[in-house]
Amino acid sequence: MSPWLILGCVAAYFLVLIGIAWWTGRTADDAGYYLGNRKSPWWIVAFGLIGDSLSGVTYLSVPGQVARDGCSYMQIVLGYVLGYLVIAQVLTPMYYRMGLTSIYTYLGQRFDRTAEWTGSAFFLVSRLLGSAARLYLAITVFQRFVFDPLGVPFSLAVTGVIGLILAYTWRGGIKTLVWTDSFQSLFLVLGVLVSIGVVSREMDWGPVDLLRNVAASPMARVFVWDWRAPDNFWKQLLSGAAIAVVMTGLDQNNMQKSLSCRSLQACQKNFYLFTVIMVTVNACILALGILLLRFAEARGIAVPDQTDQLFPTLALAHFGTTAGLVFLIGLTAATFNSADSVLTTLTTSFCMDFLGFERRTDLDAARRDSLRHWTHLGFAVLLWGTILVFKALNQGSVIKLVLQLAGYTYGPLLGLFALGILTRQRVGGPWVAAVCVASPILCAILSAHSVRWLDGYVFGFELLILNGLLVIAGSMALGRSR
């Protein structure tokens, strides 16, 4: 497939995004940038969250991960369902009642400013690393099939990608993103469905044959009951619930879009619809992984050692031009849906929690706009640098890496919010920040030595829950009461 053809199609795709950004952002003000003037249609927000939840990581890594782990990832997805119910019934009513723009303002009101800064800082680090990982994964695919043949270095490709994100998020913020995200989610879903259709056609399977072959595959195994295994069902279920709560309900990136809905009831309906679509799409992605393995086996194609490359290798080298282009547009949609909003939400969190926009009376509109734009640009530069670092450090399946990072950096958020919601304890001061830093370090040490210390036990994503519990215990023991 010609790299110029790929580049042309991607360029056309981004022209549409920039057009949407111009139309939605032409009258955007501060309220539009931060919360879309609280006028976002709930069903548009729900569909747009699909791409942010799945991202390019899921789009690429999960199909290849089936070769090693079967469909055990679905256990985490079932846990997500529990987590989204908690978000809809517990967190969103609280956020709407308090009228929050940055959700970490809750920690400042519930505890003190140190807790707010700590929560916001952990979000900034978590989202910066996660978005860099997602963008890195997608850019490496484009680098291999587009930029390397054209002689474009990786650093220049990254610069172009960050520049495109800036182009359509600079002005409109959330008011733009709820619409561009829905547009991109549509192409992500199409990329999965078209790829399933292509494999079915190549294998000469009808719908019934397709379902029968997926169900009969040894890779269709979902449940793991060995208590020592990292992918044990109960570990995955509870971890999935905790991951959903922290990576959506305690994450400014996702909640800022959801809080742009017109009312609490609309926001809750957004999460119910999102949950149904999310489970369905993840099941399709896992089925696609089984089909890709069956296709590779039938054609005598070796599965790449780095399984993240299974889907792109087959789509771009064996599925034909049209299917390959649909795959690339789907990858572009998946990646940018989850990564483009990060500049807006990092900017929001920093401006509200660290610069104190909602509390300060010494900033006029022009000064606020200037600070917001410089912050937006500063995070773009940080994201660019982090992607280049990620290129040097990446090993193994990226989805594992991203979720492991979440287990360490989102754990303190889980602990702080749980402490505030479930207890009447009031803590604060520098000890809280110290506990939040120490807890991930202790979890990392325990994870590294658990096999020897705990009779062969291997930690999975339940490390997130342990991390949060350590923060609760440490904060209650050391944080000053008032």
Q: pLDDT tens across 67-126, in order? A: 778 888 899 899 999 999 999 999 999 999 999 999 999 999 999 999 999 999 999 988
Question: Higher pLDDT residue, 461 or 412?
Answer: 412
- Give the mean model confidence (pLDDT) for residues 136-149: 81
- Give the mean model confidence (pLDDT) for residues 300-328: 79
Q: Which long-range contacts (CB under 8 A, 24 or more apart) does 300-308 make?
A: 303/64, 303/67, 304/64, 306/396, 307/61, 307/64, 307/65, 307/67, 307/68, 307/397, 308/60, 308/61, 308/64, 308/137, 308/397, 308/398
- Asked, for residue 148, whether it belongs to a domain, the answer is yes
- Asked, for residue 481, whether it belongs to a domain, the answer is no
**Which structural domain, as residue segments, surrounds residue 350?**
3-396
- Asked, for residue 298, whether it belongs to a domain, the answer is yes
- Give the mean model confidence (pLDDT) for residues 153-169: 86
Question: At residue 356, does pLDDT exceed 80?
Answer: yes
Pick the range with the lowest mean pLDDT from 173-182, 232-241, 368-377, 393-402.
Answer: 393-402
pTM: 0.83
Residue 132 to residue 62: CA distance in whole angstroms: 18
Buried b / exposed e across 67-84, counting CB within 10 Å, b at 16+? bebbbbbbbbbbbbbbbb
- Asked, for residue 19, whether it belongs to a domain, the answer is yes
- Asked, for residue 423, whether it belongs to a domain, the answer is no
- Per the structure, how many domains does the chain have? 1
Question: What pLDDT score does 275 carry?
Answer: 95
Residue 339 to residue 341: CA distance in whole angstroms: 6
- Asked, for residue 219, whether it belongs to a domain, the answer is yes
Question: At residue 352, does pLDDT exceed 50?
Answer: yes
CB hemisphere CA count around 414 (13 angstroms): 29
- Asked, for residue 451, whether it belongs to a domain, the answer is no
- Asked, for residue 30, whether it belongs to a domain, the answer is yes
Q: List, for residues 40-76, the tens digit of each pLDDT value.
A: 899 999 998 887 777 666 777 788 788 778 888 899 8
Q: List, for residues 188-242, the tens digit of each pLDDT value.
A: 888 888 888 888 888 888 888 888 888 888 888 888 887 777 777 888 888 889 8
Instruction: Report the CATH number that the domain containing residue 76 is assigned in CATH.
Output: 1.20.1730.10
